[in-house]
Structures are given as structure tokens and as C-alpha cells.
């Protein structure tokens, strides 16, 4: 399946809908700070499940109480695509649930 890269304008429009996300080195990035190492680990597990559902995997880093993501589409030459935006939206939904605990 061919996935088209988003233009710079399209990326900026999508980022306006994703508070806390930014474009860094050609990738959508975000770091979440959670209340504990356990909460951060649980979020990584949930993000991994979403990535499997979408068949789209990001660079995912676990710190003591932080989770960082860097998202881009390898099949589009490392560009940002709608697949990345969808993953970011789904992760945002997860993060809201994790912060509520």
C-alpha cells in the first residue's frame, strides 16, 4: 500500500490538533511524563497494542516515569504520513486514560 507523505502545511495543520506533539528531525515526537515507572510501563504496553492494531510502529522509549515516541513512515521514505497522525491521535487517547489514574 502506497502512503503519501504529508506536505509541511499539512503536518502543521495536523500538529495543531495534537497538543504536545512536534516535528523533530522529520518525525512526529512527544514525551509523556507519568506518575510512576509502573504507569509508564503500562502505557508502553498499551501503545504497543495500538501499534500492532495499526500495523505501524514508532520508536518508543521508556524512561523511569516517561514514555517518548518518534513517529514516521518507513515505506514513505521516512516522511510523515496520515498513518503517523492516526497513531499519534490514538496514543493521545491512551495518554488521557493513563493520566486519569
Determine the average pLDDT of the residues in 18-43: 96
Task: Name the average pLDDT for the chain.
Answer: 93
**pLDDT score of 96:** 82
For the cut 50, the answer to whether the pLDDT of residue 100 exceeds it is no
**pLDDT score of 2:** 61
Beta strands 66-71 and 22-24, pairing class: unpaired
Tens-place pLDDT, residues 42-76: 999 999 999 999 999 999 999 999 999 999 999 89
DSSP for 31-87, written as a single string: EEE-SSHHHHHHHHHHHHHHHHHHT---EEEE-SSEEEEEE-BGGGTTB--HHHHHH
Domain boundaries, the chain: 8-99
What CATH number was assigned to the domain covering residues 8-99?
Answer: 3.30.1360.20
Amino acid at each position: 500500500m502506497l502512503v503519501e507523505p504529508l506536505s509541511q502545511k499539512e503536518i502543521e495543520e495536523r500538529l495543531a490538533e495534537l497538543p504536545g506533539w512536534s516535528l523533530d528531525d522529520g518525525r512526529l515526537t512527544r514525551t509523556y511524563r507519568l506518575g510512576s515507572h509502573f504507569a509508564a510501563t503500562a502505557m508502553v504496553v498499551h501503545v504497543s497494542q495500538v501499534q500492532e492494531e495499526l500495523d505501524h510502529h514508532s520508536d518508543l522509549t521508556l524512561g523511569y516515569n516517561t514514555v517518548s515516541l518518534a513517529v514516521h513512515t518507513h515505506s514513505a521514505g521516512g516522511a510523515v504520513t496520515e498513518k503517523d497522525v492516526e497513531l499519534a491521535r490514538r496514543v493521545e487517547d491512551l495518554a488521557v486514560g493513563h493520566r486519569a489514574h
